[in-house]
Each structure stands twice: as structure tokens, then as C-alpha cells.
Chain A
Amino acid sequence: SAVISQKPSRDICQRGTSLTIQCQVDSQVTMMFWYRQQPGQSLTLIATANQGSEATYESGFVIDKFPISRPNLTFSTLTVSNMSPEDSSIYLCSVGPRGQGEQYFGPGTRLTVT
């Protein structure tokens, strides 16, 4: 299994500012994913972050808005840049399976943009 922690757990930010969310895993993992869960909605994949390569973004998400770092096999950050109220969401870090194993999720970061 994998235990994932995220910081901060929640934040209230002003429009136009940026927030960096940290994700720490208790074991080395190759694949990390960032999801967004907007109010009342399902989880939408933002990007896949593998160590040693550029993050791969899903349609509708761009690096300038959501830059990601993956400096080692246990840590990643997601920055939400130039925030607007539409960015108010829960942001979840997830680590991928080894082969056909389970995908695990962090507790999420609840972001409110005013």
C-alpha cells in the first residue's frame, strides 16, 4: 500500500495569486497523478507526473496554469497559478499502481478562491 499526505489540507486564496500544493508518499512510486474535483463533480485528471520526465497534461489543462514538479520518487508539487474563483476545487494527489495494483489517493487539498 501507499500512504499519501498533502499540504495544505485547505486554503482560502485571493484571485490572481498562486498556491503550491505538496504531495508526499511514504514509498517510492513511479507514477503520480493530480486530479481536480470541482464542487458536486467527479474527479478529473489534470496531469500525470513521472519522475525524470515532463508532466503530461490532459486536454483542457496547461502547464502555465498548473505547473508540476516531480523532483524524486516520493514527492510532487502542483501549483495553481493566477487563480480565479473557477479554480475553487479539491485537488487530489494519487499514486499509480505497480503493474495491476491499486491506485491510492491523498486526502485532498480544498482550495477556495475569493
Chain B
Amino acid sequence: AQRVTQPEKLLSVFKGAPVELKCNYSYSGSPELFWYVQYSRQRLQLLLRHISRESIKGFTADLNKGETSFHLKKPFAQEEDSAMYYCALRGIAGNTPLVFGKGTRLSVIA
């Protein structure tokens, strides 16, 4: 069975503090992992994906196959990072729909 677990429903941090949004997954096979973000009143959009190994808006995420985790990190939170963050996975071959975690709402306090 494929499953994505985001243990925190809400995460509040102060501006300038480090951020880590947790994501663990269960998948029989080779998954591709994603982080999607939804800012207030905007549509869901891709933030980053593990195969790209990029840093987007200061966020990074490393796939840890041993721990089956794909945590999202940022060293210094900014107010504009406040949003809903969803971890998602699909099979590495593509052409299958994403399966989402329940999401974590990040609130950055000034």
C-alpha cells in the first residue's frame, strides 16, 4: 500500500528560525517524492521534487530511503512561507496520479 504521512497538522515558527516539515512514506517499489504548496487563495503548485535535487525559495528536501522520509527544510523562515504544504508520491515510472499526505500548515510569525 502506498501512504504518505505528515505528522504535524500545524507548525508555527518565528521569522528567521529554521523550518522542518516532516514527511514519511510507505511504498512498495521506487517512489518519486514531491512537495506541493498552496498559498492563501492560490491553487496547488509544485514546490520541489526529489529527482531534481534543487533548492526552491530556500527550501530543500532529501530523500532518505532508509528512513523512508522526505522532510522539507529551510534554514531561515520568512513570513511569505506561510502556507499549506503537502508531501506527495507516485511511482518512479510516472503516468500515475499523486498520492498526498494530509498536509501541514506552516505559520511564520513576525
A residues apposed to B, CB below 8 Å: 31, 33, 41-45, 48, 92, 94, 96-97, 99-103, 105-108
Contacts and interface: CB of A to CB of B under 8 A. Distances in A.
A43 B102 CA distance: 7
Q: Determine chain B's interface SS by DSSP, over half rule.
A: loop
Nearest to B84: A42
A5 to B, nearest CB: 11
Contacts of B43: 105-108
Contacts of A94: 97-98
B99 A45 contact: yes
Contacts, number: 45
Contact of A45 (B49, B94, B97, B101): B97
B interface, how many residues as a size bin? 20 to 34
B103 interface: yes
B70 interface: no
23 contacts: A31-B97, A42-B86, A42-B100, A42-B101, A42-B102, A43-B100, A45-B99, A92-B44, A94-B98, A96-B95, A96-B96, A97-B94, A97-B95, A100-B32, A100-B51, A100-B92, A100-B93, A100-B94, A103-B46, A103-B97, A103-B98, A106-B43, A108-B43
A45 B89 CA distance: 13
B97 A41 contact: no
Contact of B86 (A31, A43, A102, A108): A43
Most buried by A among B44, B46, B99: B44
Contacts of B100: 42-44
Contacts of B98: 43, 94, 103
